[in-house]
């Protein structure tokens, strides 16, 4: 099922105005109180969303300096730190964020590990996500269970059999990319559906490759087996609830 953290991804999509480069990052948090309270939660979240847009567009070196500046301020308060860590996950890891950026998320997780603020189990979860984010990146090799490997272009759909939205995604994608083989990577307890045009697999180890809570999502490989379209939650169907329409 889609995570509650998708909310910030929607905020980011609303605020998307194009890349402004790295110059506006300089001093972004100077003289800014990063404390999060009940009264300023929405405004502070919006400011972070603006920061995430600039960060994702900036050159890596400038982005890293700006991110370090933010960490220098939030680690003074454990509650603030936890809230900002959740926002960073939603902005830079979430499959449906317009600013999804595995490199930036990996940098954030490095800070999480060094600062020692988060609970060990939470840090381990985020480290797992950061490692998974290095897989199936655009232009890179395709990582799927052995039984799902193919030759030629393939559209993969990660599908929770117990999720109604996931089942609807089968029909939404069935006519897309007709040149590609369609493979549904299934997990859950319900029976395999009967939507035609799909090869249904229920392999072990999906949770080692994908964040299953994000299902349904899909990705497309090119003829040479590299990733042509990375993880997407967009479904071209009038009755399907895409994240930005929720």
**Span 81-124, pLDDT tens digits:** 999 999 999 999 999 999 999 999 999 999 999 999 999 999 99
* Alpha-carbon torsion (14, 20, 25, 30), positive or negative: negative
Buried b (16+ CB within 10 A) or exposed e, 67-77: beebbebbbee
pTM for this structure? 0.84
User: Distance between CA atoms of 132 and 54, rounded to whole angstroms?
Assistant: 24
Residue 244 has pLDDT above 80, yes or no: no
Contact by Cβ (8 Å): 155, 176: yes
Q: Do both 31 and 118 map to the same domain? A: yes
Contact by Cβ (8 Å): 214, 2: yes
Q: Do both 102 and 215 map to the same domain? A: no
Percentage of residues in the chain having pLDDT higher than 90: 81
Residue 193, number of CB atoms within 10 A of its CB: 16
Q: Which tokens hold the place of 122? A: 């939470």
- Structural domain including 80 reads 6-132
Residue 73 lies in a domain: yes
Q: Which tokens hold the place of 148? A: 């799902």
Residue 89, number of CB atoms within 10 A of its CB: 22
Q: Do both 84 and 157 map to the same domain? A: no
Q: Do both 18 and 128 map to the same domain? A: yes
Q: Do both 185 and 162 map to the same domain? A: yes
Q: Do both 151 and 121 map to the same domain? A: no
Write the pLDDT tens digit of every residue in 40-74. 999 999 999 999 999 999 999 999 999 999 999 99
């Amino acid at each position: 099922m889609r995570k509650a953290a998708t909310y910030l991804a929607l905020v980011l999509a609303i605020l998307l105005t194009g890349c402004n480069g790295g110059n506006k990052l300089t001093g972004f948090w100077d003289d800014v109180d990063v404390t999060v309270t009940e009264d300023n939660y929405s405004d502070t979240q919006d400011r972070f969303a603006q920061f995430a847009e600039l960060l994702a567009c900036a050159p890596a070196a400038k982005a890293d300096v700006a991110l370090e500046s933010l960490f220098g301020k939030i680690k003074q308060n454990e509650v603030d730190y936890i809230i900002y860590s959740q926002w960073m996950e939603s902005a830079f890891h979430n499959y449906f964020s317009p600013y999804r950026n595995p490199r930036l998320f990996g940098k954030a997780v490095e800070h999480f590990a060094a600062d020692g603020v988060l609970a060990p189990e939470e840090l381990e979860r985020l480290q797992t996500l950061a490692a998974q984010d290095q897989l199936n990146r655009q232009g890179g090799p395709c990582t799927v269970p052995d039984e799902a490997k193919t030759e030629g272009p393939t559209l993969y759909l990660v599908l929770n059999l117990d999720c109604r939205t996931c089942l609807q995604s089968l029909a939404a994608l069935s006519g897309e990319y007709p040149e590609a083989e369609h493979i549904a990577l299934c997990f859950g307890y319900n029976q395999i559906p009967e939507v035609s045009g799909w090869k249904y697999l229920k392999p072990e180890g999906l949770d080692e490759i994908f964040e299953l809570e994000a299902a349904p999502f899909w990705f497309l490989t090119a003829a040479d087996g590299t990733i042509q379209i990375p993880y997407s939650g967009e479904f071209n169907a009038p009755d399907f609830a895409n994240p930005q329409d929720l």
